[in-house]
Amino acid sequence: MKAALVGADGELLHQARRSTGRERGPDSVVESILAFAADLRAHGEEHLGEPAAAAGVAVPGIVDADRGIAAYAANLGWRDVPLRKLLSERLHGAPVALGHDVRTGGLAEGRIGAGQGADRFLFVPLGTGIAGAIGIDGRVEAGAHGFAGEIGHVVVRPGGAPCPCGQHGCLERYASAAAVSEAWAEASGDREADAADCAKAVDSGDPRARAVWQDAVDALADGLVTALTLLDPRVLIIGGGLAEAGETLFTPLRAAVERRVTFQKLPSIVPAALGDTAGCLGAGLLAWDLLATTPEVSAR
Ligand SMILES: [Zn+2]
């Protein structure tokens, strides 16, 4: 878990990290979050002169932000955790916003990170899987059921590799950091080799690595062109482990997207700027948004 005390302009006043303690079960994770937040509140009171006026929390899985409920998280074992209520109680009644981890990270990237306030953006982190956050006029679209932005499960290779979601040929089976790691381990014969090693081999001119890399870039471009055809974003922000390859990824990716568009306008394609602090900065922005939209809170 990453946490921070965040100033009004997105400034990081204090940062901390802790383990979730998930090996001790789902309830223990909830308690870890509550205790962490309470300690941050105390830190603000002691070192900054006042406790945080509001809190934001971003969690993985299926999130019902309106009701403040973490509905489902497979890796934490959660079902219907009323996180907003629990956290507000622990924080002496402070208002709390609950968000989805990728959408919340996307909010920060779009507003104060790589998007620099873009009115329309798409944030796509390439990690173990691939997710997405659709930014529209300063907020991130959740969809009717909380599933908007799941670009990782757009089919780009019909009849292709099976995906845990039940489909075949999903984008994340070809262009996630995990998929590239798997493909390069196979092609190089080194079971320990990962996506970062593949990028290095691409840079040194290894033809096998170039083939693996180009397959991923082409699949990613196919998925992104589908997205930009639907959404017409001004900026495409690419993050996650694979984006750490820098221009080794971005130069061929921009070319591959450009080759595919016909009438569509090309968005700028940029690397994410906030790294793994995007989620907690975004949670801070959610908290500040609460203060801005709740008159009785901002008057305190
Ligand atoms: Zn899938």
Check residue 10 and give its pLDDT. Answer: 87
Ligand 1 centroid to Cα of residue 264, in Å, is 26
Give me the domains of the chain, ranges plus CATH numbers. 2-104+277-298 (3.30.420.40), 116-273 (3.30.420.40)
Answering whether pTM is above 0.85, one says yes
Helix, strand counts (H, E) of the chain: 10, 12
pLDDT tens, residue by residue, 57-102: 999 999 999 999 999 998 899 999 999 999 999 999 999 999 999 9
DSSP states of 217-250: HHHHHHHHHHHHHHH--SEEEEESGGGGGTHHHH
Find the helix or strand (DSSP H, E) in which 207 lies: helix 207-231
User: Is pLDDT at 298 greater than 50 in this prediction?
Assistant: no
DSSP alpha helices (H): ranges in 9-134? Answer: 26-47, 83-90, 101-111
Ligand 1 centroid to Cα of residue 173, in Å, is 7
pLDDT tens, residue by residue, 12-67: 999 999 999 899 999 999 999 999 999 999 999 999 999 999 999 999 999 999 99
Torsion of CA 12, 244, 237, 131, to 10 degrees: -100
The confidence band for 299, taking pLDDT boundaries of 50, 70 and 90, is: very low
Q: How far apart are CA 95 and CA 27, in angstroms?
A: 22
Amino acid, res. 126? L
Ligand 1 centroid to Cα of residue 168, in Å, is 7
Ligand 1 centroid to Cα of residue 22, in Å, is 26
Q: How far apart are CA 127 and CA 280, in angstroms?
A: 18
User: What average pLDDT score do residues 289-293 get?
Assistant: 90
pLDDT above 90 as % of the chain: 90
Phi, psi of 153 (to 5 degrees): -110, 25
User: Is pLDDT at 226 greater than 70 in this prediction?
Assistant: yes
